[in-house]
Amino acid sequence: MIAYLFPMAVALIAYGFTWISGLTEFDFSTIQSHSSIPLPGDPYQGFLILIAIVWTAQVVINMIFVAGEEIGWRGYMLTRLINSGAPRPLLIHGLIWAAYHMPLIIAGAYSAASGPSVGLSVTLFTIIATSFSYLLAWLRMDTGIIWPSFVAHATSNALTQSAFNPVTQGDNSMLWIGESGIVTAVVLILMIFLVKKMFSHLQYTG
């Protein structure tokens, strides 16, 4: 359940804060005018319907796209690092996973982490990906299977890329939200510390 709910909690808090504070703007008009799905005229009702679709059907589709990463990083690399006795295996695996995305970010080909500064985007994405990797690793270690990490990863990508990013506008909005946003990083780190105690029985949590 946490694999499914955690990404939604992070998105609601992070994006909601930027909308309320004025750092960004909630704007449903663009996605409403280009959607192939009939959406009500009220933007808030439309957004709720969009979230319902993304949080169900899109998550299932996204599980196909994250399969390679989860099998490779959580299914193979994480377990090999732990079994080899490597120091701080969770941290190392998270940093490697973040580094895997760097060429795309530097080339400007990863829109979900395309902040106004490439250097800042790389830094913040590293913090966000490494922090999120702890949850994925805990889920993998706690259950002994990779499906929970599949769900968490797919849910996070679906909500960010297909629901919350498209309705968030404003000057330098990607500085604050998205996969290299300042507010996203702060909220995610705090949430990771909150759920860490749920996995305190694991041999590796830090």
Could you tell me which of 49, 77, 64, 50 has the C-alpha nearest to residue 151?
A: 64
Q: Is 35 left (phi over 0), alpha (psi -120 to 50) or beta?
A: beta
Mean pLDDT comparison of 21-35, 63-77, 192-206, highest-scoring range: 63-77
Task: pLDDT band for 23, please (50, 70, 90 cuts).
Answer: very high
Whole-angstrom distance, CA of residue 107 vs CA of residue 89: 29
- Per-residue pLDDT, 14: 98
- Per-residue pLDDT, 49: 87
- Per-residue pLDDT, 206: 73
Task: pLDDT band for 34, please (50, 70, 90 cuts).
Answer: low
Give Cβ neighbours of residue 110 (< 8 Å, ≥ 6 apart).
Answer: 101, 104, 179
Question: Which of 27-31, 57-61, 67-71, 201-205 has the least mean pLDDT?
Answer: 27-31
- 119 half-sphere exposure, CB direction, 13 A CA radius: 0
- Per-residue pLDDT, 176: 97
Residue % of the chain over a pLDDT of 70: 96
Q: Give CA angle at 44 (38, 46), nearest 5°.
A: 10
Task: pLDDT band for 203, please (50, 70, 90 cuts).
Answer: confident
Whole-angstrom distance, CA of residue 99 vs CA of residue 121: 12
Please compute the mean of the pLDDT values over residues 98-127 and round it to a whole number. Answer: 93
Is pLDDT of 102 > 90?
A: yes
- Per-residue pLDDT, 112: 83
Give the start-end residues of each E strand in the chain. 25-26, 168-169
- Per-residue pLDDT, 35: 61
- Per-residue pLDDT, 42: 81
Could you tell me which of 198, 204, 170 has the C-alpha nearest to residue 2?
A: 198
- For the chain, the structural domain boundaries read 2-21+45-199
Among positive and negative, which fits the CA dihedral 175, 177, 181, 185? positive
Q: Give CA angle at 129 (126, 134), nearest 5°.
A: 125
Residue environment code for 14-30, b if the CB has 16+ CB neighbours within 10 A, otherwise e: bbebbbeeebbebbbee
Whole-angstrom distance, CA of residue 132 vs CA of residue 152: 9
pTM, entire model: 0.93
- Per-residue pLDDT, 29: 83
pLDDT in tens, 147-193: 999 999 999 999 999 999 999 999 899 999 999 999 999 999 999 99
